[in-house]
Structure formats: C-alpha cells, structure tokens
Amino acid sequence: MRLGYELNIEQTQKLIMTPELRQAITILQLSSIELSTYIEQQLLENPLLELREDESLREEEHADQEKQIESEEKPLNSEIDWEEYFQDSSDLGTVYRERNPEQQPDYSYENFLFQTPTLSEHLMQQLILSPCRCRDKTIGEYLIGNIDENGYLRVSLQEASFHLAADISEIATILKIIQSFDPPGVGARSLLECLLIQVKQLGIKNELLNKIIENHLADLAKGKLNRISQELGVTVQKVQEAADILKTLDPKPGRNFSSFNDTRYIVPDIVLEKVDGEYIILVNDVSIPRVTINSTYRSVLSKDKNYDTRTRRFVESKLNAAAWLIRSIEQRRLTLYKVANCLVKLQRDFLDHGVKYLKPLNLKTVAGIVGLHESTVSRATSNKYIQTPQGVFEMKYFFSNGLSNITGTMTSAESIKKMLQEIVAGEDATVPINDQKISELFRRKGIKISRRTVAKYRGELGIPPIRKRKRY
C-alpha cells in the first residue's frame, strides 16, 4: 500500500455559530425591557453607536430656542404697578389667587407613594414607636432582621441568645411585643403559632377553633371533618363553621408587603387593538432606545482620510458590530410581527369570545405558516407577553395541547379547564360532583377525557377534591 500526500478541493456546507448569529439569537429571545438594558450596554461598549433623536423632538427644541430668543429681545417694561404686585399684602412677591372651596383639585401629592414599605420597614416603624428601652430595641432589630418575607421568624431563641448575649426570657418578651405588631400573626415560628396569634389578636372567641388549630390541622387539611367531629364530640356543621373562620386567616401574613425582587409590572411586547372588526398588531418597542451609527467615526473609513491601519481595523470591526446590532433589532421586530399575525389568524375565536374558544396549537404549525424554524418561533415567543382584548397573556399561552372529540377535531386544554371551572362552580355544594361524573359530562359535550385527566386539570386549577368541597 502506497502512502503519500494529496491536495483535494472539496465544497461543503456547514452551519457555523458565528458571534453575529449568536447575538441575533440572543436579541430575538429578549423581552422589550431586557432588550433596552442590552442596548444600553452596547452603547457603552461600541463608540460607533449613538442614540437617535426623533425629528419631532428636534423641531420642538428648535422652536423653544426661537421663543426664548424672541423673549430676550423684547424690551423690559420698567413701569411696574407695585400696588397691584403686592395686593396680597405680603412681602414675597407671590401673586395671590383666590381658591374656590367647592372646586376639588384634580390630584393631590398626598395620593402619590414613591415605594411601598417592605415588611422589615413596616415592623421597624412600629418598634421605634413602641415603649421599649434601647437594649430591647436592639434585640427587636435582630429578631425583625430574621423574619422572612412570609412573616415567620427563622431563628431560634437559643441562637438569638447566643448572638446577643442575652437571656432567653428577655428575648421571648421582645418577641411577644413583635408578635403584637401589624400584620396579625407576624413573628410566629410555626403555622400553628401564627394562626393562634391571629385568633387572639383579632378577638375571635371560639374554643372549638382553638382546639382544631392545636390538634386537628392535618385532618382539616385532608377534609376529614367527620373524624374531627367524632373526636371533639360536636356536630359536623360546627366543625365546618370553625373551618370557615379558619379560612379567613392568613397563613403567610407577610406576603402582602413588597420585597426588592418583586416584579412590579409587565410590559407587553405585542399590543392588539380591535378597530372596525379587525385586529391591528402593534410591536411595543417604545421603550427600546433608537440607535444609529455615529457619522464622525464612520468618516475614518473614508479613502481621503489618512489614518493608520490599526485605527481602520478597529473602526471597521465596531462598524460591523453596530450594523449587525441594528439589523438584528429590526429582524426581531419583523419576526415578532409575523408570529403575532399568525396567532391572530389562528386564534381569532379566542380573541373574540374568550378562553373557551382557544384552539390547540403547536410550534410546528406556526413555523410552517410563517416560514421559520420551530426553534426561531420558540425563541420569538419566549419571555414575551401580548396584550389582547381578553387580557394580557404570555405568548406561550397560545400554544396548548388538546384532546380529541367526537367530531374528530381537537379541543385545547385551556378550554377544557375553563369548562371544568364552570362545572364545579355550578354544582350543588351539598352533593358535589366527583371526577368520574365530570368526565361523563364532558363526554356528553363530545369531549373524550378520562377521570385521571380530570383530576390532573382540577389539581392544576387548585380545585379541591370532593370531600373538601362538600358542605354539610
């Protein structure tokens, strides 16, 4: 066998993940808020990028400058009526304006709040106002600092005594003071203690309720009301009345306060407006900064300018990066519009009539209509929200599985869940419907669904089983 070296020319096609392609994929799956942050970061890194000002803003600024120049050119009137100027009998020079007592102001600055207080801030304000000594407030600050976002104390008295070098009885006394603060139940070390604090602080006089909290919370959670009534020697109706009172208590008293990691609001990436029976698709990119290429740096590439090769290469690389970023942002906008337009056409009944008319849909169907890959559609709809006449939904919400019906078509899972909610809401509470009967009701409507699937959907909706829904 002869060995040797040869040179062959071969043409092949390969998909290479270039940095530009990776950037385009990243931009496509970013939401509008995340994209704004990403563009601001690129503005700091790339000197060829700059914010583009709208022509309307420039015209307004130019008009304001002209008005300012005209006002400065006007001669000042030296004759001032000082009596009229000080007609309010003051020496400040402010013009007095009579107020109409019947006219209410449109708004008041007292109605504005910069930031809602956190649970720790709310408790600290009460601790400062409480009649405690300086030493007691130090212990109170330590205990409040160890209360989690749900309102529970996450440190033991022994551990607090070790860190503060104080007696356990002294710490327990301060903890009792904190447990009397608002919201009721805060500072508890367990669910049982939290509920008992709320019962005491709200002034609820019910001995049966205290016994159920202390000894039968597990049975109550499982819906074993008959067992509780037999052990306590009372009727089932009395147990259910106590359980109804218990449901009014808050097992997580601190969750109604804000925290630093809360999501305040959702900015929809797509807005649908119905005008004259047709849906208008608006890509919500108002918050995204408009970027353009700086003409000053671009002049470096001119042949008439004598710049060294290193400078030219740097400007060329940054220019290519800037142009690709602008192209990727525009491509993201077009892709979002195409996908949203396809969703509007396929889910028109849902947009007109509600969740019950949501059709089963998958990424492959949309990708085939739009002419994109499934992964591209998946990235375009991830972390994106769409505002519709039915509310604000995540774009992934429109892609749901379905079950077959008698006619051979499919019914979406979300539509079935909506019908399940209506069935449970309309049942007789004294004789609730079990999962098997619910399955039969769906079959009468032409939807094939098993009892296990009904139980699965019921659990996802947070609907309790039959023994917990039964009323005596």
pLDDT, residue 98, reads 53
- Concatenating the DSSP letter of every residue in 379-416 gives HHHTT-EEEETTEEEEGGGG---EEEBTTS-EEEHHHH
pLDDT, residue 198, reads 95
What angle (nearest 5°) sits at the alpha carbon of residue 341, between those of residues 335 and 342?
95
pLDDT, residue 242, reads 93
pLDDT of 188 > 90? The answer is: yes
Distance separating alpha carbons of residues 468 and 470, to the nearest angstrom: 6
What angle (nearest 5°) sits at the alpha carbon of residue 97, between those of residues 94 and 99?
140
pLDDT, residue 23, reads 85
Distance separating alpha carbons of residues 297 and 311, to the nearest angstrom: 10
Give per-residue pLDDT as tens, 424-454: 999 988 889 999 999 999 988 888 888 999 9
pLDDT, residue 212, reads 93
Domain spans, the chain? 119-247, 270-375+388-394, 402-469
Beta strand pairing status for 385-388 and 270-275?
A: parallel
pLDDT, residue 93, reads 43
State how far the alpha carbon of 101 is from the alpha carbons of 75, 104, 105, 157, 226, in Å.
40, 7, 10, 58, 64
Residue that has been written with the tokens 């000053």 in this structure: 296
**Overall CATH class of domain 402-469:** mainly alpha
* Cβ(350)–Cβ(390) below 8 Å: yes
Neighbours of 394 (CB within 10 A): 15
Beta strand pairing status for 49-51 and 402-404?
A: unpaired
Report which of 121, 117, 130, 255 is spatially closest to residue 194, judged by C-alpha positions: 255
pLDDT of 78 > 50? The answer is: no
What integer best gives the mean pLDDT of the chain?
83
Distance separating alpha carbons of residues 114 and 348, to the nearest angstrom: 40
pLDDT, residue 315, reads 81
pLDDT, residue 90, reads 45
Task: Please tell me the least confidently modeled range out of 21-35, 83-97, 365-379.
Answer: 83-97
pLDDT of 85 > 80? The answer is: no
pLDDT, residue 4, reads 76
CA dihedral 130, 134, 139, 143 (to 10 degrees): 40
How many helices (H) and strands (E) in the chain? 22, 8
Give per-residue pLDDT as tens, 389-437: 999 999 999 988 877 777 767 788 888 898 999 999 999 888 899 999 9
Instruction: Give the pLDDT band of residue 159 (cuts 50, 70, 90).
Output: very high
| Ranges of H-type helices in 76-167 | 82-85, 119-129, 134-145, 157-164
Mean pLDDT of the region 205-227: 91
Rama region for 351: left / alpha / beta (φ>0; ψ in -120 to 50; rest):
alpha
What angle (nearest 5°) sits at the alpha carbon of residue 282, between those of residues 280 and 285?
175
Task: Please tell me the least confidently modeled range out of 9-13, 155-159, 299-303.
Answer: 299-303
pLDDT, residue 260, reads 56
| Angle between helical axes of 363-370 and 309-346 (0-180°, round to 10) | 110
pLDDT of 83 > 60? The answer is: no
Cis peptide before 183 (omega within 30 of 0): yes
Rama region for 174: left / alpha / beta (φ>0; ψ in -120 to 50; rest):
alpha
Neighbours of 24 (CB within 10 A): 18
pLDDT top residue among 100 and 170: 170
pLDDT, residue 91, reads 46
Report which of 82, 253, 271, 284 is spatially closest to residue 178, judged by C-alpha positions: 253
pLDDT top residue among 74 and 322: 322
Mean pLDDT of the region 193-217: 93
pLDDT, residue 280, reads 92
Task: State both tokens at 76.
Answer: 């000042």
Q: What percent of the chain lies above the pLDDT cut of 90? A: 43
State how far the alpha carbon of 358 is from the alpha carbons of 345, 352, 410, in Å.
12, 10, 10
Give per-residue pLDDT as tens, 321-378: 888 999 999 999 999 999 999 999 999 999 998 888 888 898 999 999 999 999 999 9
pLDDT, residue 94, reads 43
pLDDT, residue 86, reads 45
Mean pLDDT of the region 81-101: 48
pLDDT top residue among 306 and 48: 48
State how far the alpha carbon of 433 is from the alpha carbons of 394, 413, 444, in Å.
32, 20, 15
Task: Please tell me the least confidently modeled range out of 266-270, 301-305, 371-375.
Answer: 301-305
First to last CA, the chain: 94
CA dihedral 387, 392, 396, 398 (to 10 degrees): -80
pLDDT, residue 412, reads 85
Distance separating alpha carbons of residues 282 and 270, to the nearest angstrom: 6
pLDDT, residue 340, reads 94
Task: State both tokens at 224.
Answer: 């074993």
Backbone angles phi, psi at 249, to 5 degrees: -80, 160
Give residue 432's identity as a one-letter amino acid code.
P
Per-residue buried b or exposed e for 186-216, using 16+ beta carbons within 10 Å of the residue's own CB: bbbeeeebbbbbbbebeeeeeebbbebbeeb
Mean pLDDT of the region 210-222: 91
* Cβ(199)–Cβ(249) below 8 Å: yes
pLDDT of 218 > 70? The answer is: yes
pLDDT, residue 330, reads 92
Distance separating alpha carbons of residues 27 and 48, to the nearest angstrom: 19
